[in-house]
């Protein structure tokens, strides 16, 4: 089976080893479950917004169909103060691309929520409550789009907020998730992903 992971720093795994990236950990867990899965193809770069991911996909020209496609994007839209209206339009277009890469099967697409970077040491002097509210608003958009399209949705935001009491969930840059946090994401996503990849074509 083939897995395409689309996103930003959270998908490429900024500041963690390659085997700690969440798509790579997920692939390993699926293989443990008896799913024959190739190494994930990742189109993601630290700092990407929705439009930059779209440009990255255009440049990479991934060739579907894929048995599983993940999409996690939007934190940099929020960080740069981009509008929610722009995010909704661009996210919806990316989601339709993801579905197309999945052979037109929305049930093979997994949307992950945006984690809350406002709880990290990097944001210690910023307004964490305001960041959380904006992250929640962006996640309301991506959740609604995923549900409307028939894609799966995995909420990793709550576990990201556990970093307020567990500093080991944050990488050594004080901003990005650690491999431990990505493991928690994989455990959250695994039942949904198994449902997606084991379904009849």
Check if the beta carbon of residue 174 is closer than 8 Å to that of residue 120: yes
pLDDT digits (tens, 9 = 90+) for 39-90: 999 999 999 999 999 999 999 999 999 999 999 999 999 999 999 999 999 9
Give the DSSP H or E segment for 6: strand 3-7
Range 3-198 classified under CATH 3.40.50.1110: yes
* Residue-level pLDDT at 200: 55
- pTM (global) more than 0.95: yes
State mean pLDDT over 86-110: 98
State mean pLDDT over 6-15: 98
What SS3 string covers 139-163? HHHHHHHHHHHCCEEECCHHHHHHH
Selection from 87, 186, 181, 178 nearest residue 139 by Cα: 87
- Percent of the chain topping pLDDT 70: 99
* Residue-level pLDDT at 163: 97
Query: What is the separation of C-alpha 82 from the centre of its chain, rounded to a whole number of angstroms?
Result: 19
């Amino acid at each position: 089976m083939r897995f395409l992971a689309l996103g930003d720093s959270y998908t490429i795994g900024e500041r963690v080893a390659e085997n700690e990236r969440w798509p790579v950990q997920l692939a390993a867990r699926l293989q443990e479950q008896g799913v024959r899965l190739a190494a994930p193809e990742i189109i993601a770069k630290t700092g990407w917004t929705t439009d930059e991911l779209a440009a990255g996909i255009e440049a990479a020209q991934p060739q579907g169909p894929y048995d599983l496609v993940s999409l996690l994007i939007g934190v940099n839209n929020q960080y740069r103060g981009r509008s929610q209206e722009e995010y909704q339009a661009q996210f919806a277009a990316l989601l339709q691309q993801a579905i197309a890469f999945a052979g037109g099967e929305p049930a093979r697409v997994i949307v992950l929520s945006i984690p809350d970077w406002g709880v990290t040491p990097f944001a210690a002097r910023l307004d964490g409550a305001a960041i959380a509210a904006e992250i929640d608003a962006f996640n309301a958009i991506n959740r609604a789009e995923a549900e409307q399209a028939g894609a799966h949705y995995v909420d990793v935001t709550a576990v990201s907020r556990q970093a307020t009491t567990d500093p080991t969930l944050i990488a050594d840059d004080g901003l990005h998730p650690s491999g431990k946090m990505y493991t928690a994401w994989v455990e959250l996503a695994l039942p949904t992903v198994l449902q997606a990849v084991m379904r009849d074509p």
